Structure 1
Amino acid sequence: MTWRDGLEIGVVALVFYRLLGFVQGRRALQILGGVVVLLAVYGLANWLQLTMIRQLLGVLFTYGFFALLIIFQPELRAALAHIGQAPVTKLFPREESVGSREDEIADAVERLSRSGVGAIIAIEREVALDEYVDSGSSLEARLTTDLLATIFTPYSPLHDGAVIVRGNQIVGAGCILPLSQGNVSSRSMGTRHRAALGLAEETDALVIVVSEETATISVAQGGELRPGITPMQVRDLVLGNPVRPAERMSERTGEWRTPKGTG
């Protein structure tokens, strides 16, 4: 026995182990059990010289392979996707859709503002926000507009706290942020704005707030709170670009428009 034989045995054993672990608890395991029973019956019929049963099972096995491909289609598709998530494939970087994060956040903020739903979204940068994630519910969810809007839906379990975004993922919801002890410029700015300002004072996070009372959008960054931000300006801030000229919402169409003379 050479080292190649040992390598082959190890690879085959690992493959079978992963396959058994994948099908465990799935419908595929029951189907595999049925196939094993048919194979046992075929072997018994062959040993007892039961010609008719052996021929019938032989025909079944001949065309059964194609039937199994159809039956196991969902499992095969999931298995291939599972292989694609293996650590080896992480060596090859995948292209991310450019602008997805800022677009999702800007759309969510605009939707929440139109609906008058309060929200606070903290975007992690260089300083990790793990201690604030631990204060709420940890998540590993892809960042989408619908998910953000759903989290802040009134009377939902997580709508009162803050959502923490790391990269293109939501890593925490219902999180508690430190309240700023400084003076807030307007009385219409409540606990959410103080929490956003408090986090911006302690970290380099970009914190977006939607007021439940006035439906206005504010941004806290670098220890400062900036009210009257538009969704397009939110997108620029998330990207780290210079803020575009102020916009106004058209009462007739409900669309954000840049006033004339502001560029």
Structure 2
Amino acid sequence: MFSWSDINFLDLLRSVVDILVVTYVIYKLIMVIRGTKAVQLSKGIIVVVLVWFISDKLGLKTLNFIMQQVITFSVLAIIIIFQPELRRALEQLGRGRLFSREVQEEEQRNQSIEAIVKATTYMAKRRIGALMSIERETGLNEYIETGIPMHAHLSSQLLINVFIPNTPLHDGAVIIKGDEITAAACYLPLSESPFISKELGTRHRAAMGVSEVTDSLTVIVSEETGGISLTKNGELFRNISEERLRELLEKEWLFQVKSTGGLRWNWRGKNNG
């Protein structure tokens, strides 16, 4: 018969602390890979494990054997695939930042939005063509690799300088991650949608193309008209004002206070057309 006297409270306390520490570490690791392609790769790994488990239970020997081989070599594959994320986590651990709260993210978010809006408005008035893609949950590393790495702090002056005509980085897209310009002169996939107006050029088609395959936000400045446009989730918002651009960015790039009291970046994907 069960008795409370049978419970060793020291062991119980040790187990609770152990579970809490492991949970916190896993949570922080998830925060490190959040917003990168590692999220999608993690989902693929989960699918492989589920297929292996189900095939074992159903007695599907051939499929189970294949899954066992995949899992056997997955440790090396994970190290190779997640190398950028692992390096990032170790760097943050070395700086003592892995377990710290990012209390300045609200200010960074506001500065990033203002830098994008200010640069866009400046270039629109002078009809300087521009294409800026802002990374959200889906990683844009595939397109970053096609451009020139920058890894520079985001500022309106730098954005304007990148798109000045007849400069090496003028053609192509700038890709932005948080408060950093990651790369310039990047190639984005062109949309093949037959519903795009024939009067729209390559910049608009590239912005639509990347919005169809990722959840990024892309800002376009027309070189012909100076009009400002924005794409998201396969939608195109044409000829918007400075105020409307700021409103769309703020609605999609929301800052939220976590229930724990910490701060974080967050994106919302609702239709605000």
Shorter-chain TM range is 0.5 to 0.7
Partner of 1:232: 243
Hey, what's the Cα distance between the residues in 2 that align with 1:169 and 1:186?
Answer: 32
Q: Which SS does the other structure have where 1:102 is aligned?
A: helix
Hey, what's the Cα distance between the residues in 2 that align with 1:221 and 1:241?
Answer: 9
Hey, what's the Cα distance between the residues in 1 that align with 2:236 and 2:205?
Answer: 9
Hey, what's the Cα distance between the residues in 2 that align with 1:109 and 1:180?
Answer: 23
Gap regions ≥5 residues in structure 1: 1-84, 243-263
Hey, what's the Cα distance between the residues in 1 that align with 2:227 and 2:187?
Answer: 21
Deviating beyond 4 angstroms after TM superposition, the runs of 4 or more aligned structure 1 residues are: none
Q: Which SS does the other structure have where 1:99 is aligned?
A: helix
Identify the structure with bigger relative contact order (alpha carbons < 8 Å, sequence gap 6+).
2
Partner of 1:87: 95
Hey, what's the Cα distance between the residues in 2 that align with 1:184 and 1:161?
Answer: 23
Q: Encode CA deviations 1:55-81: one digit per residue, 9 max, x unaligned.
A: xxxxxxxxxxxxxxxxxxxxxxxxxxx
**Aligned 1:1-263 pairs, distance under 5 A:** 87-88=95-96, 91-92=99-100, 93-96=102-105, 97=107, 98-183=109-194, 185-240=196-251
Q: CA RMSD in A?
A: 2.2
What amino acid does structure 2 have at the position aligned with 1:87?
Answer: R
Deviation at 1:90, TM superposition (A): 5.9
Hey, what's the Cα distance between the residues in 2 that align with 1:89 and 1:201?
Answer: 35
Hey, what's the Cα distance between the residues in 1 that align with 2:188 and 2:113?
Answer: 22
Q: TM-score, normalised by structure 2?
A: 0.55
* Count, aligned residues: 159
Partner of 2:271: none
Hey, what's the Cα distance between the residues in 1 that align with 2:176 and 2:145?
Answer: 13
Q: Which SS does the other structure have where 2:159 is aligned?
A: helix
What amino acid does structure 2 have at the position aligned with 1:162?
Answer: A
Gap regions ≥5 residues in structure 2: 1-92, 254-273
- The higher radius of gyration belongs to 1
Partner of 1:59: none
What amino acid does structure 2 have at the position aligned with 1:188?
Answer: E
Deviation at 1:225, TM superposition (A): 1.4
Hey, what's the Cα distance between the residues in 1 that align with 2:232 and 2:122?
Answer: 22
Deviation at 1:88, TM superposition (A): 2.3
Deviation at 1:138, TM superposition (A): 1.3
